[in-house]
Amino acid sequence: MQPSLQPAAGDPPLLRLNGIAKRFLSVTALKDVSFELRRGEVHAVCGENGAGKSTLMKIISGQLEPDEGEIHFKGQPVRFVSTRDAEAAGIAMIHQELNLVPHLSVAENIFLAREPRRGLFIDRAQLRANARRCLSRLGIEIDPDTPVRTLPVAQCQMVEIAKALSIRAEALIMDEPTSSLTESETGQLFRVIQELKRSGVAIIYISHRLDELVQIVDRVTVLRDGRHVCTDDFAATSVDEIVVRMVGRALDEKFPPRTSVPTADVLMRVQGLTRRGVFRDVGFELRRGEILGFAGLMGAGRTEVARAVFGADLPDSGSIMLGDQTLRIRSPQDAIRHGVAYLSEDRKSHGLALGMSVAENVSLANMSALASGLGFIRFAQENEVAQRYVDALDIRTPSTRTLVRLLSGGNQQKVVIAKWLFRNSRVLFFDEPTRGIDVGAKFAIYTLLDELASQGIGVVLISSELPEILGMTDRVAVFHAGRITAVLDTRRTSQEEIMHHASGRVAATALAS
Amino acid sequence: MNDKQKDLFQKFAALASLAALTVVFALVSDAFFSVGNGMTVALQVTSIAYLGIGATCVIITGGIDLSVGAILALAGVVAAMSVKAGVPVPLAMLAGVLVGALCGAVNGLCVTLLKLPPFIATLGMMLVARGVALQITDARAIGGLGDSFAELGNGSLARVVKIGADGFPDVVFPGIPYPVLLMVLLGVAVAVLLNRTTLGRHLYAVGSNTEAARLSGVDVRGVTLFAYVLSGTLAGLTGCVLMSRLVTAQPSEGLMYELDAIAAAVIGGTSLSGGIGTISGTVIGAFVIGILRNGLNMSGVSAFIQQIIIGLVILLTVWIDQMRHRR
């Protein structure tokens, strides 16, 4: 798609950063980084986790002050001490974790702390009218009186964008805006982005889904290890080239070759699993050494089924068999005891104790293996175990006693995986294991999935990215509206066929067969 | 600074302020820096320390326990009434401690099973326990409990007394008072529990991220329940020791002690959002409060001014703590 308004290269840039450097204690996050943003362009900033993208964005949006370097906005040197300063100047950031107040209405959220007033009181009519104007500028229809907590993520994001527009932001930073959107919602977001471009708003766009850049991006800047690598017109480069620049080496394949061979013996058999109002009559078989994909749209029930098997939420009916033993799973403890593990899609709030160390997180699910009969922890052994996994999974951390909070997203994910590997799990549910993780780390995790399967572990891969499903699984169970509508052989299926089943268009026929 | 250095720095800072307080008071008041007064301070601190140790465990799980002051009164009263009814002293005190444990268990069940916010659950228990203590005693103090009841609070280990030439006893070494000894034992035991055992690790994990702990197979309910039972048990013990020291059981004893306990934990670096806290910090925190009270007393500062100063100290220490954690 051609950008609608090609910014002239000669214009003075809207935002210019020169020689920016930032250090945290002894770690250099950014070194001599320069960056330029023109009016009306969508500028992608790419880099692996830990490349310095977040730090750079925090500096632009006023959350951090640089140690060195200067920032010019609209030709003037500026110094932002807080996000308020940046917003007042016209720079707003939309975070991956949205910052909305759930119990307030859409209109109240958009104008939070800037409510139109009449005397001492909020002018509700004015508030509503202003909100409606902001929303309609984006071409979206949401009732301004709706409480935000009732909106789906995609609409919350629109509210965030409307909020940014309401402060007359001229530069907008979007951090992983599509990571939790469905395909059609992503389309809607892109239409809004085009709309913003037309009105001259400049957008800094951060995403690990490089494929989607093609649809909206004008220029791209690559960072690596805290340094600026290059800035190019997107038309003059390619996704492959960007990836090479990001990782500093050529990545021939996105997926490792599959070495594991699924066996015929059924490891886990789930039948008639139902949780009222969430999913019903779900059944599947998982074979030893197999990677089974769970595909489907957001909210189709994939995560919910996995959580039910794991005992995190209890199903109303259905049976779960492991080998020839019927399991009674009433809690995650029961599931774990039987060797079933679930790696949550939301690693920060469900997977890790961020304030605890790498070693403490690795051992958390299997403390008894590291403790004497009286419950005394054997620290030397715990460190040894943690170090083993740090080496095996190439977790980049200063030490096993470093707080997990300080690691990058990909490394945090590896810590979660290490926890379950140490538990000797027989069945592993991976829920979106590569979400928000950079290319290099993704490949490492794929390799790991394959290795696990070849050790005879049953792996379930829940993923919203169809290439990932096609590249890594042996069979795919496709979910639609709380049911499995098809189980397909990965080698004999296609993206189209999976989407077909996921959208429910052939639900009736699939169930009949 | 790495984490270890930070930890040392915090300990050092707390200890240094403790030392500074001691020096200042020693200069201001002659009587402050003496063995006798040191013992008095240590004795006064014990109650805050026992309760603070329990409070630390509860706060580490992300909870709070407001009921310990009231539980202390109820437990002491129950122990005293049992003695009056002819129960041998050790058994009577055990009954007091068990009453504390029971109250703690009720707290824990309210939090884990009924899913009440800890603030509310323990606020309720605070009123109930205090009410029961006042009701069963008709709000009257119980006296005349006898020497053996006073032994736990007033006796000491290794006390050396010589009969002087004039025939009067001469105290060569005052000994280590039992309450102080108990404080050391409890402190070490709970510190070992927190740092070296799986249960301790689980307490931190629950406070750090409850959902992650649950999904890792940690028995979140059991662990939380344990923290409240421990806090209640220690409150019961505090009641017995305190009433024994006074040789009187007062149903109105221990008013606002829960706030001292929480303050001691917080001054010692325990985070009210859970997941962070140490026993050594809490004991230091208890001493900071105790020395402030005692020193200000001896310097003739009025009780009202004392409150103001202690309030400011809490604000200051927590502010410093937050500055340290901010990045």
Domains of chain A by residue range? 1-90+171-252, 100-168, 254-339+425-513, 355-420
Q: What is the pLDDT, as a whole number, of residue A12? A: 81
CATH number, domain A1-90+171-252, options 3.40.50.300, 2.60.40.10, 3.80.10.10, 3.40.1120.10:
3.40.50.300
Give the domain extent around B144: 50-276
Query: Which residue out of A27, A356, A361, A401 would a mutagenesis test of the B interface target, given it has the greatest number of B Cβ atoms within 10 Å?
Result: A356
What are A275-286's pLDDT values in tens digits? 998 899 999 999
On chain A, the residues whose CB falls within 8 A of the CB of B269 are none
Using the beta-carbon criterion (under 8 Å), do B208 and A354 form an inter-chain contact?
A: yes
Using the beta-carbon criterion (under 8 Å), do A365 and B214 form an inter-chain contact?
A: no
On chain A, the residues whose CB falls within 8 A of the CB of B201 are 360, 363-364, 367, 377
Mean pLDDT calculated for residue range A197-226: 89
Q: What is the pLDDT, as a whole number, of residue B198? A: 94
What are A392-425's pLDDT values in tens digits? 888 888 899 999 988 877 788 889 989 998 988 8
Q: A355 touching B, CB under 8 A?
A: yes
Orientation of helix B220-246 relative to helix B198-208, angle to 10°: 110
Cα separation, A93 vs A205, whole angstroms: 10
Residue A48, pLDDT > 80, answer: no
Residue B309 belongs to some domain of the structure: no
Chain A to chain B Cβ contacts (< 8 Å)? 76
Using the beta-carbon criterion (under 8 Å), do A25 and B1 form an inter-chain contact?
A: yes
Interface of A with B in 169-228 (CB under 8 A): none
Instruction: Provide the shortest C-alpha distance from residue A477 to chain B (in Å).
Output: 24
Could you tell me which chain B residue has the CA closest to the CA of A368? B198
CB-based contact B327:A24 (threshold 8 Å): yes
Instruction: Provide the shortest C-alpha distance from residue B209 to chain A (in Å).
Output: 5
Which H/E stretch holds residue B280? Answer: helix B279-298
Identify the band that residue A505 occupies on the pLDDT scale cut at 50, 70 and 90.
low
Identify the band that residue A10 occupies on the pLDDT scale cut at 50, 70 and 90.
low
Neighbours of A315 (CB within 10 A): 24
Q: What is the pLDDT, as a whole number, of residue A487? A: 94
Count of the separate structural domains present in chain B: 1
On chain B, the residues whose CB falls within 8 A of the CB of A382 are none
Q: What is the pLDDT, as a whole number, of residue B21? A: 85
Higher pLDDT residue, B108 or A94?
A: B108
Q: What is the pLDDT, as a whole number, of residue B226? A: 98
Query: One digit per residue, pLDDT tens: chain B, 327 residues?
Result: 455 566 666 667 777 888 888 888 888 888 888 878 888 898 889 999 999 999 999 999 999 999 999 999 999 999 999 999 999 999 999 999 999 999 999 999 999 999 999 999 999 999 999 999 999 999 999 988 888 999 998 888 877 777 777 777 777 777 788 999 999 999 999 999 999 999 999 999 999 999 999 999 999 999 999 999 999 999 999 999 999 999 999 999 999 999 999 999 998 889 888 999 999 999 999 999 999 989 898 888 898 998 899 889 888 887 877 776 654
Helix (H, G, I), strand (E, B) or coil at A22: strand
Which H/E stretch holds residue A343? Answer: strand A340-343
The radius of gyration of chain A's CA atoms, rounded to the nearest angstrom, is 24
Using the beta-carbon criterion (under 8 Å), do A419 and B204 form an inter-chain contact?
A: no
Mean pLDDT score of chain A? 87
CB-based contact A178:A140 (threshold 8 Å): no
Helix (H, G, I), strand (E, B) or coil at A76: strand
Could you tell me which chain B residue has the CA closest to the CA of A308? B215
On chain A, the residues whose CB falls within 8 A of the CB of B198 are 367-368, 371, 375, 377
What are A277-328's pLDDT values in tens digits? 889 999 999 999 999 999 987 778 999 999 999 999 999 999 999 988 999 9
Identify the band that residue A506 occupies on the pLDDT scale cut at 50, 70 and 90.
low
Q: What is the pLDDT, as a whole number, of residue A305? A: 95
Within A199-254, residue ranges assigned H as helices are 213-216, 239-247
Instruction: Provide the shortest C-alpha distance from residue A351 to chain B (in Å).
Output: 5
Q: What is the pLDDT, as a whole number, of residue A165? A: 83
Using the beta-carbon criterion (under 8 Å), do A356 and B275 form an inter-chain contact?
A: yes
Q: A367 touching B, CB under 8 A?
A: yes
Neighbours of B207 (CB within 10 A): 29
Which H/E stretch holds residue A21? Answer: strand A15-24
Instruction: Provide the shortest C-alpha distance from residue B219 to chain A (in Å).
Output: 7
Q: What is the pLDDT, as a whole number, of residue A218? A: 94
Q: What is the pLDDT, as a whole number, of residue A249? A: 62
Using the beta-carbon criterion (under 8 Å), do A367 and B202 form an inter-chain contact?
A: yes
Cα separation, A442 vs A435, whole angstroms: 9
Q: What amino acid is encoded at A91 in this protein? A: I
Most confident listed range (A105-109, A148-152, B183-187):
B183-187
Structure tokens at B31: 């009587």
Among B198, B212, B327, beta carbon nearest to A353: B212
Smallest Cα–Cα separation from A253: which of A19, A16, A467? Answer: A467
Smallest Cα–Cα separation from A107: which of A120, A91, A122, A87? Answer: A122
Q: Are domains A1-90+171-252 and A254-339+425-513 of this chain identical in fold?
A: yes
Instruction: Provide the shortest C-alpha distance from residue A238 to chain B (in Å).
Output: 38
Residue B190 belongs to some domain of the structure: yes
Contacts of B167 (CB under 8 A, 6+ apart): none
Residue B101 belongs to some domain of the structure: yes
Using the beta-carbon criterion (under 8 Å), do B218 and A24 form an inter-chain contact?
A: no
C-alpha pair distances (Å), B303 with each of A440, B46, B288, B296: 65, 20, 16, 8
Structure tokens at B20: 């500074």
Mean pLDDT calculated for residue range A228-241: 89
Among B198, B212, B219, beta carbon nearest to A351: B212
Using the beta-carbon criterion (under 8 Å), do A403 and B3 form an inter-chain contact?
A: yes
| CATH no. of A254-339+425-513 | 3.40.50.300
Among A363, A375, A402, beta carbon nearest to B199: A375
Q: What is the pLDDT, as a whole number, of residue A296? A: 87
Smallest Cα–Cα separation from A70: which of A80, A61, A82? Answer: A80
